[in-house]
Amino acid sequence: MVFFALVAAGAAYFFTTTGSGYLADRLVAAAQTAEERRHPALAENLYRRALSLNDCDVRARSLLADLYEDQSRISAAEALLKKGITIFPSGTDLYLRLAALYIRAGRAEEAAKILDAADNPYVSITLSGKRPDVSGALPGGRYPTGTTFTLETGNGLRYFYEVDGEWNLYTQPVTLDEGSATVRVVAVDEDDVPSPVRTYNYTLVPKAQTAWAETGLIRCPFCGEVFRAH
């Protein structure tokens, strides 16, 4: 009796550890087959069953999120990936999947911030090595009105930029109007991995004022007198 009890206990332990993981893998494989045969409802059910056996299964969670995205169920994909990050904070791929989801949805700032928010040291280091950076941007500073904000576009990256609260895909130089302007930029690589948000501050003044400033002279806008800057 003792022998059979030990065998039963061992079998139960195998199923709850190795066995459940093995079954989850089989369910994921079956779900992928269902997707290939264009049975998305069955595939979703199988992915969910796999996650019920192993909530930390990054592969099942990522594939189910991809299925949701293909069906334009962006909110469902987002919630699934966010929950995965909460359950398994060292899952680097979950951060990258969620950031890519945001990029494809036109939410560049959120994509950058989700990678910034990774507080697991291993994940932070891994992500920093994968993220691109903004290159060739016009440095912040004082420029004449009509100056254009430019970025290098021949480097395999695409850019999203924000001026006055609206994010857009960068396709051509942006003319900066007179006054103060703040431009924020996110670079995105071919794998939809975003850079951190880079911020550039500009002061745009009439060309005459810029010329005075370059010679070290300042003209008072009220009295018209000219003074040398110290």
Rounded-to-integer distance, Cα 155 and Cα 140, Å = 21
Positions of CATH 1.25.40.10 in the chain: 2-130
Domain boundaries 141-228, corresponding CATH code: 2.60.40
Q: So what's the pLDDT on residue 209? A: 54
Q: What is the distance between the alpha carbons of residues 57 and 102, in angstroms, rounded to a whole number?
A: 22
* Confidence check: pLDDT of 59 > 90: yes
Model confidence pLDDT, tens digit, residues 160-203: 999 988 899 999 999 988 888 999 999 999 999 999 999 999 99
CB contact at 8 A, 196 and 127 = no
* Dihedral sign, Cα of residue 88, residue 118, residue 66, residue 32: negative
Secondary structure element (H or E) that encloses residue 133, with its range: none
Q: DSSP characters for 39-79?
A: -HHHHHHHHHHHHHH-TT-HHHHHHHHHHHHHTT-HHHHHH
Question: 51, 44 in Cβ contact below 8 A?
Answer: no
Task: Return the percentage of the chain with pLDDT > 70, whole number.
Answer: 82
Q: Across-strand partners of 166?
A: 163
- Left, alpha or beta for 224 (phi > 0: left; psi -120 to 50: alpha)? left
Q: What is the pLDDT of residue 208?
A: 59
- CATH 2.60.40 location in the chain: 141-228
Residue 92 corresponds to which amino acid? T
What is the CATH code for 2-130? 1.25.40.10
94 SS3 class: helix
Q: What is the tens place of the pLDDT at every residue in 32-58?
A: 999 999 999 999 999 999 999 999 999
205 phi and psi, to 5 degrees?
A: -130, 160
Q: How confident is the model at residue 19 (pLDDT cuts 50, 70, 90)?
A: low
| 186 burial level (CB within 10 Å; 0-12, 13-18, 19+) | buried
